[in-house]
Amino acid sequence: MITETQDGPAWRGGWLNRLIARPGFQSWAARFPLTRGRARADGAVLFDIVQGFVQSQVLLALIELQVFRRLKAGPQSADDLGHALDIPADRMQIALQAGAALGLLKRKRDGRFALARKGAALMGVPGLEAMIRHHGAFYDDLRDPVALLRGPEETQLSKFWPYVFGGDVPEAEAHIYSDLMAQSQRLVAEDTLRTVSLKDVSHLLDIGGGTGAFLEAAGRAAPKMQMTLFDLPPVVPDAQARFDAAAMADRVRIVPGSFRTDPLPEGMDAISLIRVLYDHSDDTVRALLAKVRDALPAGGRLIVSEPMGGGARPDKAGDVYFAFYTMAMQTGRARSAAEISALLAEAGFDQIKVYKPSRSYVTQAVTAVRAE
């Protein structure tokens, strides 16, 4: 019996892949006029994957040296930058040339380097530089990816995000991760609020919202809406300062607590979980969704927004970056929209709606309503 796959009959795919895997065939395909274009394109893609780690480390070096910010004022030579940064000019030249090859910088005719559009955009993305800097812990865990897949007793990234395991978190550590979350939360808020309307919400409870970056954006999108922030006690001072600065203190109530052990505030007609579920195990998520359902009135709405992976259509952001990131955190995982929908239905939600993401590497939204 011949079984069909999305790529055609199984026997044909297996035979073709065995042929393509032969070094001799690859050499022939790179020369033959009808196949050389595809062969060379495949080779370029494979090499880009192979050198991916080097590219990310070049980017990190340029950020740590503040090259983008230095070039914002105008073009500079490798000699000038090298002297200012205490790096030999020939090595500075290599770093700048690499940045230009990545499209982050551009080399001018006189040999100096200037900021390219992508480099300028990088500085304009909230939290991106901080996110790239914190990758040191993640890369330490990826040094031995096979060991990571087998499940080490401890990872560097799990120590960076201690709150996901519950328990008390020192205020200094809470400030570090809250600041990083707040900076990157602005992009998530943009995409979520562009997709999900809050016009019918009178009071929104944001669980695990850190210092309130999402609520601040939500409050601007819905100026008459009342809001409550629920998160660990160490984030309260920074959250209060944020809402004071945004002139929203009279619209926001901050309730300190842990959703693992404390009751959730009640009386809201909508609850948001923004980048919360993928930090936690299925058991923790089930328990949280049950508490959320009980805290909502009949017909109350839940908004879930986070990067997703594991779906029928593999996604480079969700199934590569976020899947391995959550693995290194040692808790949680990047779930598909279908998996999240199933968990919501199990918890007693209906009218579940999955929204198409505008940027899957930022977030995807799912909404649901508490069943009557």
Which residue(s) pair with 301 in the sheet?
270, 369
Bridge partners of residue 4, in order along the sequence: 9
pLDDT at 298 over 90: yes
**Helix ranges restricted to H, 115-165:** 117-124, 128-133, 135-141, 145-150, 156-160
Q: Locate CATH 3.40.50.150 in the chain.
A: 136-370
How sure is the predictor about 133, in pLDDT bands with cuts at 50, 70 and 90?
A: confident
pLDDT of 5 above 50:
no
CA-nearest of 222, 221, 239 to 230 is: 239
Output the pLDDT for position 108: 96
* DSSP3 helix / strand / coil % (the chain, rounded to 5): 55, 15, 35
Q: CB–CB of 251/202 below 8 Å?
A: no
In this predicted model, what pLDDT tens digit does every residue of 221-263 receive, in sequence order? 999 999 999 999 988 999 999 999 999 999 999 999 999 999 9
Which token pair is 286?
């089930």
Q: Is residue 39 over pLDDT 90?
A: no
- pLDDT-derived band of residue 15, with 50, 70 and 90 as boundaries? low
The 3-class SS string of 232-259 reads CHHHHHHHHHHHHHCCCCCCEEEEECCC
Kind and range of the H or E run holding 183:
helix 171-195
pLDDT at 177: 53
Other CB atoms within 10 Å distance of the CB of residue 322 = 23
Say which amino acid occupies 127.
G
Q: Quick check: 368 and 301 in contact, CB under 8 A? A: yes
Share of residues in the chain with pLDDT > 70 (%): 89
Element (H, E) at 88: none
How far apart are alpha carbons 115 and 100 in whole angstroms?
Answer: 9
Percent of the chain with pLDDT over 90: 69
Q: Per residue in 138-149, pLDDT tens?
A: 999 999 999 999
- The residue written with tokens 């050499």 in the block is 27
Mapped onto helix, strand or coil, the DSSP state of residue 284 is: helix
Q: In this predicted structure, which of 95-99, 132-136, 226-230, 256-260 has the lowest mean pLDDT?
A: 132-136
CATH number for region 136-370: 3.40.50.150
The span from the CA of 307 to the CA of 127, in Å, is 16
Find how far residue 316's CA is from the centre of its chain.
Answer: 12
CATH number for region 53-124:
1.10.10.10
Q: Where in the chain is the domain with CATH 1.10.10.10?
A: 53-124
What are the distances in angstroms from CA 48 to CA 54, 96, 136, 366?
10, 19, 21, 33
Handedness of CA 149, 155, 160, 162 (dihedral sign): positive
For 18, list phi and psi in degrees, rounded to 5: -65, -35
Counted residue by residue, the chain has a size of 372
Which runs of E-coded beta strand occur in 28-177?
A: 105-107, 113-115
